[in-house]
C-alpha cells in the first residue's frame, strides 16, 4: 500500500531525489529546471522537508511505496485565503493508480485546515495528461496564461478550484 504523508526533517535527501527525478523526467512540466534545483544547497531541501504543517506557509508531501518514493507534491499558502499547489509528480510506473489524486487531496486538506478558500496551480499548455487529471478533480482555467521565465516557447495556464464546500 502506498503511504501519502507530510515530509519530515529526515526526508530531505528523499525529497531532493524525487524532485530532481521529476525535473529530469518531465522538464517541460515545471518552471524550475533540473540544473537550477541541482544547484540548491542542502539547506534548501532540509528546510522544505522539515516544514511544520501546523505553522509553516509551505509543505511537501511524499508518496511512498514500501521503501520507494514514487511521487510528491508541494503546497504554499500565498496569503491567508489562497493555496498554491506546486511540483506534483508521480513516477511513470505508478501513474494511473490514484496516487496523484491522493497527493492533491492531502495538499488541499492541509490548505483548508490553514484557512485557504481557493487553490491555484499552473499547468503547461501542452501537458495533456496533467490537464485531463486536473479537470477530473475540479480545476478550471482562470484565463491567465504566461510564458515560463527563460523558456518563452512554453506556456503555463493558471487553473483554480474553490476549497469551500458548496
Interface positions with ligand COA (CB under 6 A): 26, 29, 88-90, 95-96, 100, 123, 127-130, 132-133, 136
Closer by beta carbon to ligand COA, 91 or else 114: 91
Cβ–Cβ under 8 Å, residues 89 and 123: no
Q: How far is the CB of 95 from ligand COA (least distance, A)?
A: 3
Cβ–Cβ under 8 Å, residues 80 and 113: no
Q: How far is the CB of 148 from ligand COA (least distance, A)?
A: 12
135: its cell numbers: 479537470
Q: How far is the CB of 113 from ligand COA (least distance, A)?
A: 23
Closer by beta carbon to ligand COA, 46 or else 155: 155
Q: How far is the CB of 104 from ligand COA (least distance, A)?
A: 9
Amino acid at each position: 500500500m502506498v503511504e501519502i504523508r507530510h515530509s519530515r526533517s529526515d526526508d530531505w535527501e528523499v525529497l531532493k531525489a524525487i524532485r530532481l527525478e521529476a525535473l529530469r523526467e518531465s522538464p517541460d512540466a515545471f518552471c524550475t529546471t533540473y540544473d537550477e534545483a541541482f544547484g540548491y544547497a542542502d539547506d534548501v531541501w532540509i528546510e522544505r522537508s522539515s516544514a511544520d504543517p501546523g505553522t509553516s506557509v509551505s509543505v511537501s508531501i511524499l508518496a511512498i511505496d514500501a521503501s520507494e518514493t514514487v511521487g510528491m507534491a508541494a503546497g504554499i499558502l500565498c496569503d491567508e485565503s489562497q493555496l498554491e499547489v506546486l511540483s506534483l509528480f508521480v513516477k511513470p510506473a505508478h501513474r494511473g493508480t490514484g496516487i496523484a489524486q491522493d497527493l492533491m487531496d492531502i495538499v488541499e486538506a492541509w490548505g483548508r485546515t490553514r484557512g485557504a478558500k481557493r487553490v491555484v496551480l499552473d499547468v503547461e499548455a501542452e501537458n495533456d495528461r496533467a490537464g485531463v487529471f486536473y479537470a477530473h478533480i475540479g480545476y478550471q482555467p482562470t484565463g491567465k496564461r504566461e510564458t515560463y521565465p527563460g523558456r518563452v516557447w512554453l506556456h503555463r495556464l493558471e487553473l483554480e478550484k474553490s476549497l469551500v464546500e458548496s
